[in-house]
Amino acid sequence: MNALISGHDLCLFRGDKCLFDSLEFALNPGQLLIVEGSNGSGKTSLLRGIAGLLEFEQGEIHWEGNPLRGHYQAFRADLTWFAHKVGFKDDLNLLENLRFEQSLHSFDEGSVTAVLARLGLDLLTELPLRSLSAGQQRRVALARMLLSKGRVWMMDEPFTNLDSAGRSLVDAVLSEHLANGGSAIVATHQPLEIVGDVKRVSLS
Amino acid sequence: MMEVLSMGGYGSFVWSAYGLTIIVLAVCIIGGRMGHTKTINDVRRRIRTMEVKS
Amino acid sequence: MTDTAPPVPSLWSGFIGIVRRDILLAWKRPGDVLNPLFFFAMVSTLFPLALGPSSEQLGSIGPGVIWVAALLAALLSLNSLFVSDFEDGSLDQLLLSPQPLTVLALGKAIGHWIVSGLPLVVISPLIAISFHMPDQSIKVMAVTLFFGTLSLSLFGSIGAALTVGLHRGTALLSLLILPLAMPVLIFGARTVSLSTSDDAVSAGIYFLAAYCMLALTLAPFATAAALRISNE
Amino acid sequence: MWKFFHKLASPPHFYQFAGKVVPWFAFTAIACIGYGGYAGLFVAPADYQQGDAFRIIYVHVPAAYLSMMGYSIMAISAGIGLIWRIKLSHAVTAAAAPLGAWFTFLALATGSIWGKPMWGTWWEWGDPRLTSELLLLFLYIGYMALRASIDDIAKADKASAVLALVGAVNVPIIHYSVEWWSSLHQGPTLVREGGPGMVSDMLYPLLAMILGFTFLFGALLLGRVRTEVLFRERRAKWVREMLLDDGGTT
């Protein structure tokens, strides 16, 4: 059974500097791939390349065995993206943002209240996101991960702006996702206490 | 000879049009050549500095 | 966690979702809607002040002035079309959603048109009256502005998508879009001025409608491609 | 046949091939323009209506023709670059833009110089050709402005290619709407410009000038594309070998 996502002979330049060359990786269902490296080593660019936001100089990404170029839709239906920017509108409140999110990805509406309660956001649903703290905004982005049915999570530096409670929340949520058979690619330079099948790729 | 140059009274227009054409073509030709030699020298200098560094 | 991809919401829900979100955003931040309208009204009143109150002169320059003011007002609100999405990361979410980006780009352009183009069409009769324009040309003005502002929003969204990542994109946007807006301006303003001397106006209106259809079909593809390129 | 184009798409082959072709284009251009210029100025009979002022068409028509051809080359190479992701064709688009803009400016200037004796004004709004030529110049300027404002070459290529294609769709529309616009008010009767109706002595120099300008444009374009390719491939091995060993400025 071939890997869920695999990268073959990936190469990327930033200006004249070669970030990585002939990079290979494979991710199976239920697995976590950690992308390590110092700041500016191209972790974010690698994730954005895998997701299809930028083009590699060379190399290909395969989704369920066949090349990704051409049929992105199936891949993106399964993908949930968590990045440095929250990805929600500051002027809208939490429920309005989530309703818009439903027009893009399929949600299981039933669990919205439960997820918000778990993330400690259930009292803040009427406030525009602008008035939430940075940590709370990260939890709002986590709400998108929990509510989406996508099997693949891609997270870029999930721990920034999070206190220790937030950090353990991310670890717990990620472990549950892996336990349910989901898979994830996480770019971080901080240690992750994750139980489960973990692979690592380091960009020197 | 003079009446040929006067172009039936429109000499100033005809010659200014042709003069302008020659100027624009010269700018394109010389600009192209200079640009090419400048690029060659820049790239060669860049290669030399890379050689020295590595 | 099933092992097949989750179902993708319908195209229509994606399109309506983004249009509703943009209208909601405009509702929550009325400045973005009203400023171009005030700009449109003010620019139109500059000309009578500058050229004197003689009514037949105003009547003849009225269509041109109103159309140029509408064009500039639409351009004013265009450059912020994708900038807020780019800055808060929702552009990444749009690009990574299973919904085809062309439909979302069309939604953004239509959303922008509803928020900026339609209000222009609604208040243009008021301005036209102040220019002593005859009744039938007020109606023709509204019709031409209706098609014209829609084409502007669509072609303008291509320019907005091309300049979204550039930090000084505002002047550049109008530089890119004005040549494309010229046919709309030509047919719009001339058709209205034809209607003041009650000549046949249907030719101009048909052209504007045809140009609008061209924009509706082609512009979203170019906007989607431009978004993917500038968001790299 | 297909193999030829495939080989041409690789930068080193293109660089050598273009290097060999440019002198031939330049030579043909000089010959045609030499004949056309001389014949146009001194051999062709004066026009019964405009007298000798009509000789300006021998520079105006080729320039106007090239301004349109330049933009079509840009649109085609932009399309090829976007669809088949061939980097070289983006280099062609980048090189063609300034040239096309210069020829459009030339067409505008010679057109207005030619208009002065006939219509008495340097700029005649009634002539739709001049106005659409001006709008074409704005399209070129918009293209170059967008390309200049994006630093990363690959991104600038793709973004400006989209703009070139969108502009190309609009060129006929702009041309048509300017024609319609100028036909509304009765502009001065326009002089029939060239075409089979002309006496053959007038026509041959014009054809020679158009051919000469086209070859000149080809030579200039290939020259600028070589420069563009050299800059874009500066990291490549073939550039290092070529520039270090023979030291010649080929």
Q: What is the pLDDT of residues A52-85, one digit of tens each?
A: 898 888 888 998 888 887 778 888 988 999 998 8
CA-closest candidate to residue D167, choices C69, C70, C183, C230? C183
Q: How confident is the model at residue D247 (pLDDT cuts 50, 70, 90)?
A: low
Residues of B in contact with D110 (CB under 8 A): 17, 20-21
Residue B13: closest CA among chain D residues belongs to which residue?
D113
Residues of B in contact with D44 (CB under 8 A): none
Residue D11 lies in a domain: no
Q: What is the pLDDT of residues D145-168, one digit of tens each?
A: 999 999 889 899 999 999 999 999
Chain C nearest C-alpha distance from D238 (Å): 29
Q: How confident is the model at residue D190 (pLDDT cuts 50, 70, 90)?
A: very low
Residue D1 lies in a domain: no
pLDDT score at C134: 87
Domain count for chain A, please give it: 1
Q: Is residue D186 pLDDT above 60, yes or no?
A: no
Whether chain C lies against chain B with 3 or more Cβ pairs closer than 8 A is no
pLDDT score at C222: 96
Domain count for chain C, please give it: 1
Q: Which domain holds residue A23?
A: 5-202
Phi, psi of A200 (to 5 degrees): -130, 145
B28 in contact with chain D, both atoms CB, cutoff 8 A: yes
Q: Is residue D189 pLDDT above 50, yes or no?
A: no
Mean pLDDT of A191-204: 80
Q: Who wins on pLDDT, B1 or A64?
A: A64
Q: Is residue D194 pLDDT above 60, yes or no?
A: no
Q: Is residue D249 pLDDT above 70, yes or no?
A: no
Query: On the CB side of C221, how many CA atoms lie within 13 Å of its CA?
Result: 9
Torsion of CA A99, A50, A47, A9, to 10 degrees: 180
Return d(Cα A35, Cα A37) in angstroms, integer: 7
> Strand pairing of A31-36 and A197-202?
parallel
pLDDT score at D185: 67
**% residues pLDDT > 70 (chain D):** 92
- For residue A202, what is the enclosing H or E element? strand A197-202
Strands, DSSP E only, in D18-140?
none
Q: Is residue D169 pLDDT above 90, yes or no?
A: yes
Chain D nearest C-alpha distance from C167 (Å): 9
ipTM for this prediction: 0.90
> Strand pairing of A58-63 and A5-14?
antiparallel
Whether chain C lies against chain D with 3 or more Cβ pairs closer than 8 A is yes
Choose the closest CB to A182 out of C1, C5, C231: C1
CA-closest candidate to residue A184, choices A67, A79, A106? A79
Domain count for chain D, please give it: 1
Q: Is residue A204 pLDDT above 80, yes or no?
A: no
Interface of A with C in 143-202 (CB under 8 A): 148-151, 180-182
Residue C223: closest CA among chain D residues belongs to which residue?
D162
Contact C87 A92 (CB under 8 A): no
pLDDT score at A1: 56
Whether chain A lies against chain C with 3 or more Cβ pairs closer than 8 A is yes
Residue B29 lies in a domain: yes
Q: Who wins on pLDDT, C67 or A160?
A: C67
Coil vs helix vs strand at D186: coil
D248 in contact with chain B, both atoms CB, cutoff 8 A: no
D53 in contact with chain B, both atoms CB, cutoff 8 A: yes
Q: How confident is the model at residue D104 (pLDDT cuts 50, 70, 90)?
A: very high
Residue B2 lies in a domain: no
Mean pLDDT of C213-224: 95
Residue B4 lies in a domain: no
DSSP tally for chain B: helices H, then strands E: 2, 0
Residues of D in contact with C225 (CB under 8 A): 82, 158, 162
Residue A59's CATH number: 3.40.50.300
Q: Which residues pair with A72 in a beta bridge?
A: none
Average pLDDT in chain C: 90
Q: Is residue D2 pLDDT above 90, yes or no?
A: no
Q: Who wins on pLDDT, A126 or C56?
A: A126
pLDDT score at D88: 93
Q: Who wins on pLDDT, B54 or D175?
A: D175
Domain count for chain B, please give it: 1
Which residue out of D177, D183, D184 would a mutagenesis test of the C interface target, given it has the greatest number of C Cβ atoms within 10 Å? D177
Choose the closest CB to D55 out of B14, B25, B47: B14
Residue B41 lies in a domain: yes
Q: Is residue D21 pLDDT above 60, yes or no?
A: yes
**% residues pLDDT > 70 (chain C):** 99
Chain B nearest C-alpha distance from D1 (Å): 30
The residue written with tokens 């690029």 in the block is B39
**% residues pLDDT > 90 (chain B):** 52
B33 in contact with chain D, both atoms CB, cutoff 8 A: yes
CA-closest candidate to residue D117, choices D52, D72, D172? D52
Counting one residue from B and one from D, how many pairs have CB atoms under 8 Å apart?
91
Return d(Cα C78, Cα C117) in angstroms, integer: 11
Q: What is the pLDDT of residues D43-86, one digit of tens each?
A: 888 777 777 888 888 999 999 999 999 999 999 999 999 998 88
Residue C4 lies in a domain: no
Q: Which domain holds residue B54?
A: 17-54
pLDDT score at C176: 92
Non-local (6+) Cβ contacts of A4 within 8 A are A27, A28, A29, A31, A63, A64, A151, A152, A183
Q: Which domain holds residue D25?
A: 20-188+202-245
